[in-house]
Structure 1
């Protein structure tokens, strides 16, 4: 079995999370500048066995696509061209940013630490991955 890598895509920063090789535990990996995302992913899969990408799918409350979906679709086209052998699945990410912020509060992070947007993105990717694992277990 290989790892599953989750992507919380953003136009500036992208949060990443990954499972262990047994696909049981989701852990935050890092946050990268979106401009360097494809290169980072290529470097990562050269070292780690990644079986699948899980990409957050932002939706409005009425279930329609969010405005950021346009940018995600462009990224997905590039990802499929550069790394065609790894399948991509989408996961509803409607409340992940709010849940990530609440997770930071619940874990006792100080206000200054909770303003770290990169950390929010990484936690959001972890929540996307946990949601995927829960729905596929």
Structure 2
């Protein structure tokens, strides 16, 4: 199960809304080993596409160095789908390389970026996709 604060939930949805009709993407980091999402890190979709997202390789390298320096790890990797449901595509599955992360998808399809939004979380391990419950809390 993914437990996420209301504030982080709203930031992810706001990012998806702001980047619509392109896919939004980013990460939420947390203290290494805690599994607790804390620090919201919106990223630029280098692909600038409504059907595909890609982290800029230099931004990603810088981010992973920063995570290492801060003793953090990716807890949530998120992106939006602008024309389909919030479910990992074959491409999403093939690019999922953080076995401990929650993969959050927000669908802005049929909303013109205005909502309501579909917000779902998955674990992706060795090509296997497992949906998990999302629990939104005021605070941890």
TM-score w.r.t. the length of structure 1 is 0.37
Q: Which has the higher helix share?
A: 1
Structure number with the bigger relative contact order (C-alpha 8 A, sep ≥ 6) is 1
Q: Which has the higher strand share?
A: 2
